[in-house]
Amino acid sequence: MSDVSLNAANEPRARMEVRRVPFSYAVRTPKQRAGHWNEASPEFSQIVNSGSLAMPYLEPYLIRTMRQARDKITDPQLQKELDFYVAQEATHFRQHKKFNDTLSEAGYVATAPIEARLAKDYAKLGDTRSLRFNLAYAEGFESMALAIGHMLIDDREYLFGDSDPAIASLILWHFVEEIEHKNVTLDVFKHLHDSYFWRMVGLVYATGHIFWRMGQGYRALLREDGLWWNLKSRWRMARLLGRIMKNILPKWFRIWRPSYHPSQVPDPEWGLAWAQLFDDAPQGAASLDTSRLGEPLPIALSQH
């Protein structure tokens, strides 16, 4: 069973756990069938695909950054939490790499240049920027990921309803664990630098950078689909982005408070239930029934 602790608001939250989730991704053709794992929303599919393509480059960069900081940390408990963070992130990017390979194997040619840009970006950041900057970037990304995780879980039925169970389960698992390790990068940053100015630099830079690269990615994928200049598709995209921004911006702006700490944000009950579901039925947690995402877990298991 997953350990449960109390956050600063005396509410339950799952402790970090390194999970080997038995996801299974099939290579599907034609390529649009592989890319449009949510058939009702190819636009959301490609936004997520673009984000997934970043993970095998972003997350190793975060891991390298945190490992560079580890020996400078004097708190043994924080070192232990950093190690859990690194282990979770390592499982994330490996799973995303397995899924990403199905896109290129299905025939998407846009994936290679997208990945090349990301590899160059994160190699350059790691090689040319200070540890303080890279820790600020890591904290900015993780604070943003916490906001995204809550948004995805809150709106899971709309965003993932009736989509491919494996991909929906991959994304939701990833962000459940982002919520689990939400405190680590800020605690490490504050332990070593504790600068509101640099925290804000990291938040703005990380948000702008990853959204810029994701935008380039999903536009390239939709162009390859022949959808980018389709007026109906552009209208669906505009409505989708409007909905996402409406849901995420209040969560993002709370990060700007000088007193902000992720422990102030209660963990969603659905995320806690997913962690319990994994303990009880790992295969079910890897293949949720996406026609029943609005129902409580563990009811919403895939019947496929």
Q: What is the CATH number of the domain that holds 110?
A: 1.10.620
Average pLDDT of every residue of the chain: 92
Contact 28, 191 (CB under 8 A): no
Parent domain of 172: 40-275
Q: What is the pLDDT of residues 175-193, one digit of tens each?
A: 999 999 999 999 999 999 9
25: alpha, beta or left, given left = phi > 0 and alpha = psi -120 to 50?
beta
Whether 185 is covered by a domain: the verdict is: yes
Reported confidence tier of residue 304, pLDDT bands at 50, 70, 90: very low
The pLDDT-based confidence of 5 (bands split at 50, 70, 90) is very low
The answer to whether position 119 is within a domain reads: yes
Instruction: Report whether 38 contacts 290 (CB < 8 A).
Output: no
Could you give the C-alpha distances from 171 to 18, 21, 49, 235, in angstroms and in order? 16, 12, 10, 25
Q: What are 243's two structure tokens?
A: 């909905």
Average pLDDT value for residue range 250-264:
96
Contacts of 130 (CB under 8 A, 6+ apart): none
Q: Is residue 60 part of a domain?
A: yes
2 within some domain? no
For residue 55, being part of any structural domain is answered with: yes
* Residue 75 identity (one-letter amino acid): D
The pTM of the full predicted model, rounded to 2 decimals, is: 0.92
For residue 63, is it within any domain? yes
| 285 within domain boundaries | no
The answer as to whether 292 is a domain residue is no
Count of domains in the chain?
1
